[in-house]
Structures are given as structure tokens and as C-alpha cells.
Structure 1
Amino acid sequence: MYIRSLLLKILFGLSFAFLIPNGLWAQNTPIREEQRLTIKPARLHPGDKIGLVAPAWLVTESDLQLSIERIKQLGFQPVYSDKIRGKHGYFSGTDKERADDFNNMIKNPEVKAIIFVSGGYGCTRILDRIDYEAIKRNPKIIMGFSDCTALINAIHQQTGLITFHGPISRTIHQGYNRQQFENLLVNPTDKYVIKSTDDDLRKSANDKTSDRYTITPGKAQGKLAGGNLTLICSMIGTPYQIDLKDKIVMIEDIGEEPYRIDRMLTQLIASGELSKAAGIAFGICKGCDKSAKSSTPNSFTLRQVIEERIKQLNIPAVYGLSFGHNINNFTFPIGSDAELNADKQTITLIKKPVQ
């Protein structure tokens, strides 16, 4: 009887699995790196059409017009729909409207890249509405940061497509940002070394969050993952939890007091995920070193928190690279093989992230 019961359970389980549509199965099962192939999008060429979308916060008309102008300055044609002007509370439309607008841009063969107009909050609400199968069929450059950390990491994990953490449309034109964007997505090379700008080091005299220092020396190789710390933590325990195993984990945030950074890093460590990382690279956590003015008595500095939490992992780690909520924000590819040199404080992309 026991053997018969066991066989029935196995057969029922197999039947149930086959009845579940592939997309729905993918949306409820975290996919690890070794379970998918890496897809590279095509590089950009002058005159290509770039889709503008707002998958989270609502967009003002002035921000939209500025975004259009910036994309034109780069030599590309901006494309957008009326949905980008939508308003639904603090979102740029309902969850369905925002997801539909993004999915339509994916399916548009004339659009060669998608760049987000804003961050804010809202991407995590539409992850289960994204057409991941359409992305596999129509791979293209997808780029943003901040709240868009959720979307670009989920897309890579569900599809294998290399996505990009980088400036949003209205900040992409600035000298350093533009140079890094073009070096990766327009004129890419193998063995490309991403170096932070010295401008951020000069700022450190007045803002210690712009310091650049080695937390734990050494080199590490792995695929890049991560982005905004708040979003990385908010995805823990969901089907879209970021797989940090053997990754170089990129971390940044804005406006969080040291104790909040402490709390989030502690959560990542307690989850068991961060200790599996190959290396850790912090960007500039703008406005997070509030210890001098903090309402929290006897606050640690941001550096004290980061070093105390991260050094115990004994993983090559560095703080202060030029990415995040910062004037200087380099582009890096989620899912691309790279080497972190914590001593030299650089990241080297081993191969071109685009075709």
C-alpha cells in the first residue's frame, strides 16, 4: 500500500507540473543562474529608437521633455506612448497600464533599447505582469537604476537577458555618464575596465559618503547582480529574489541613516545569501552618513557600519565606486562576467555585454 501511494503521489506531481503553463511556472519558481542561458542584446547605433517608459513613479511633463531632449542629444530617437503621462496616486498609471506600456515597448521591433524615465516606487508591483517570454523573443537593451533594480534583476533571472544598471534618461547626458554608457552599449570592447571618477573623491572632504576605500582586499570573479539595497532586501522571500551565489554584488542606496543600512545588511547576511557572494562593490550611498546630525543617539558612521557588517564575510569588497544616486553614475551589465579588484577599486568586464 505504501509503495502504491508513493507512486500515485509522484504521478500526480508530474501531471500537475505538465499542466502548469511555462510562464506561470516561471513566475512562481526562482530561477538560478545555472538553469538558463545568457542572452546578449544588440548594441546601439546612431539614430536607433529608444523607448521611454515609467514603470514606477509618476512623471512630470518637464521631466518627460527633459528626457526626450537628453536622448536626442545622444543621437537617438526617443519613442514613448501616452501611458507615460498616466497618473494613479503616486504611480504613472495602474499596475496593468505600466506593465502593458513596458510589454508593448518590448514587442515593438523598431525599439532597440528601453530606458526608464524615473524610479521612485512601483516596479515590484508589476513583476508578475511582465511578459518574460516576449523578452526572450525580442531581446533588447533595458536600463535603469534605483527602484528599477527590481525589474532589471528579475528580467535577467527569468530570461537570461543581460540588463543594465545605469542612468535614467534625464541624467544620461552628463559627461562621465554618457562616456560610460557609450563605451558599454555603443562601442563595446572585451576586457573593459570601469574606473570611478576622481571627482567623487574630491567631494569626500565635505561628504564622507563619497570616500573610496577597500573593505576587504583581494580579487573576485563572477556575474554582476544587485543595485539598490532597499530593493535587494524587498525581494528576499519572493519568486524574484536575487540569486547572489558566486556573484559580484553591487550595492547602493540614498537617504538612509546608518542604522537602516545596518538593518538591511544584517537582513541580507541573516538570509544566508550575501555570504555566498564572490565579491561586494558598494557605490556611493548618497546622504546616508547622517551620524553627525542623526536623531539616533551615539550613531555609528556609515563606514563603521559597512566595515563591521561586511569584513566578517571575508569576501573581497570595496566602497565608493561611481554608481547609484550620484551625479556620476556608470553603467554596468546585470548578468555579465566581471572581475572585482578590491585593491585597485575597479571592475573589469571580461566580455562585451552586447552583440
Structure 2
Amino acid sequence: MKTPTRRISKIQPETFFPETVRTVALAAPAGPVEPETLSRTVDFLRSMHLNILPAKSVSGKKGASHLSGSAGERAADLNSFIRNPSVDLILCLRGGFGSVHLLEEIDWETLRTRRLPIAGYSDITALHMAMLSKKAGIPLTARMAATLEKDLRNPFTARSLRRVFSLAFTKNKTRCPFRAVARLTPIVSGNETVSAPIVCANLTVLASLCGTLFLPSMKNRILILEDIAEPVRKLDRALTQLQMNGVFRDCAAVIFANFKKCSPAEEIKPLAERLAAENSIPVYSGLAFGHCARSLSFLCGEDAILSGGVLKVRFPECRLSDAGAPGGRRIRPFF
């Protein structure tokens, strides 16, 4: 994606979240978090004058060092946050692997009633896809809590994060104007303007949900894919699995975002070209989203417009003390 021509101003941490967000829960549904990292994250978020509730199961389980705790412990933490009426927002601390273990244990009914935002990406794709499938909560494809302090130092990333958190707590989203956030490279472009909801996913995690009740329909959706540290054969396997399950058949468009430490772009491009040919849909690359320092964030299911390779999303009023108050200033577009 080309660098925006407009200078991006720095965002002050104390104005980052909407004022309606008072209590933030820190969940670890997948991999473990070092105690020092958790302590630093809690301190940083408390500096924003927030009440912070860390998960009990965070630092790992003996015999399963890749997990923050047993499936039961992790599910109990997440459900305690979902059922706590004082919690306004759940931030996932990190990804890794393990979110899929919790899908059959989550209190979907309460989450459906509360419409609670849950933010994260990468392995958190499993939670987000289940949320879409169950029509429960608000899935925010956003940066991890453990890296938030560093991420907010990048104005591009910070502004996109703030847009998403503001949008999540905006009641009448249809009144928010569309603004451009990316100019994409066409692999196979369509002639018509695409207007459809966005769904963001980690490619290999998305493929792992095939054949389950937690994979939502991608019909008339703009599907954004990212991944990290996967060789081309594994990316091919995941795309083929999704293709054979009909996931791409009715997509409005597919965007290949950041594939950090994966095979070279010249090896991934033929996979995208094949996907476009097999499904007769527009396919793009070059979106700054995923495991990269300069990354956009999205609300899964939010409206978007894709026209001429330019991606537009809604920008809410951005005086975070009151998203709809007179005199509130809008977030500036990225171009």
C-alpha cells in the first residue's frame, strides 16, 4: 500500500478510548504471556485512567507451554468477563494458538445479549469467526493488548485503532461517512464497485474451522486474509481447503494483506491468481494489515466500499468524549 500523502498526527494515549469505556478486561485465550509483559500492559492501560481486569490464567500451563492455561481455565476467564456487567471491552493479550479450544465453552447467549467488543487478531480469528457465526458480541480485528504501548507510537496504526474503537461504540454507524484507508494492487480487478461488509481472518486459522459450526458464511463479504511464518505449501493447503468448502465461491472480493515471514510474494501471487480464476471474483493485495508494525484495524462486519482499488470504510465522529456530540472532530482520512 502506498504511503498516505497527508501527515498523520500523533495520538495521545489518554484520548485513545471512548469515554464510555471505563473497565477493560485482558484475556489470554491462546498463548501465554510473561508476567513482566502483563505488568507493563496493565500499567500502561491504567495510565489511561481505565479500570483493568487481567485474566487469572495467563502465564502458562506445565506440560503445555504454548497455552496460557487449560481450556477450562481460559474459558472460565473469558466467560467471567462476558458475564461481568462492568466490563466494557475485552482486549486479547496475544495470539499463538488455542482460541479454538474455547468455542464450545463460551457463553454465547450472554455475549449475544451484551454485544461486548472483543479485540485481537491472528489466532483470535477463531473467536471472531465464531462470534460472527453465533451473531454474538462485536469482533474487532485490532492490535493485541501486550503490544498496544508500542503500536500507539505508530500514528498510522494508532489512528486506525482509534477509529475502530470509536466505531464499535457508535450506535448509528450508517451516519458515519466513508473515507479511503488503502490503495490496493489488483491481482484480478472487477469492473464494478463492491459495497459489502468486511471480514478479516488469519488464513490458516480460518481454514482450521472448515467443517465446524463456527465458520460463518462469506457470501457477499470482502474477505481480508493475513498470516505469518507459513511456507507456500501450507498457504496453498489452507486456500485449497477453503476453496473445497465453498468459502470463496460467493465472496464479493478477497484481499491478500500482510504475510510476514511467509514465502516470497512471487510464490504467493500465483495462489491469489488461481483463487480469482476459480471463483471469478476480484482479488487484491497490498493491504497494510496483519503482523506488521504499520497496520490497519477493522470491525468484522463493518460496511466497506472497494472501487478502483481504493478501500473505503466508515469514519465516526472522533471526539471520543462523545461520539455524536456537536463540535466533535472526525478522524481524518488516510489519503
- Following the alignment from structure 1 to structure 2, what is the Cα–Cα distance between the partners of residues 79 and 322? 31
Q: Identify the match of residue 50 of structure 1 among 24, 42, 46.
A: 24
Contact 2:30 2:96 in 1 (8 A): yes
Matched, 1:195 2:169: no
1:61 counterpart residue number: 35
Deviation at 1:160, TM superposition (A): 4.3
1 or 2, which has the higher helix percentage? 1
Contact 1:139 1:161 in 2 (8 A): yes
| Equivalent position SS for 2:195 | strand
Deviation at 1:133, TM superposition (A): 0.7
1:337 counterpart residue number: 303
2:85 counterpart residue number: 109
- Alignment map for 1:1-355 (pairs within 5 Å): 44-45=18-19, 48-72=22-46, 74=48, 76-88=50-62, 89=64, 90-172=66-148, 173-175=152-154, 176-186=156-166, 190-193=176-179, 195-196=181-182, 213-218=185-190, 219-290=193-264, 301-341=267-307, 343-349=308-314
Change (3 A) 1:318 1:174: farther
Letter in structure 1 aligned against 2:35: E
Deviation at 1:134, TM superposition (A): 1.1
Q: TM-score scaled by structure 1?
A: 0.74
Decide which moves more: 148-157 or 172-181.
172-181
2:327 counterpart residue number: none
Give me the CA root mean square deviation.
Answer: 2.6
Q: TM-score scaled by structure 2?
A: 0.78
Deviation at 1:65, TM superposition (A): 2.3
Contact 1:337 1:350 in 2 (8 A): no
Runs of 4 or more above 6 Å deviation:
none
Deviation at 1:217, TM superposition (A): 1.8
**Identical amino acids, percent of aligned pairs:** 26
| Equivalent position SS for 2:94 | coil
Q: Which runs of 5 or more structure 2 residues have no equivalent in the other structure?
A: 1-16, 318-322, 325-335
Contact 1:235 1:242 in 2 (8 A): no
Letter in structure 2 aligned against 1:71: L
Deviation at 1:125, TM superposition (A): 0.9
Contact 1:232 1:242 in 2 (8 A): no
Aligned residues: 289
Q: Which runs of 5 or more structure 1 residues have no equivalent in the other structure?
A: 1-42, 198-211, 292-299
Mark the structure with the bigger radius of gyration. 1
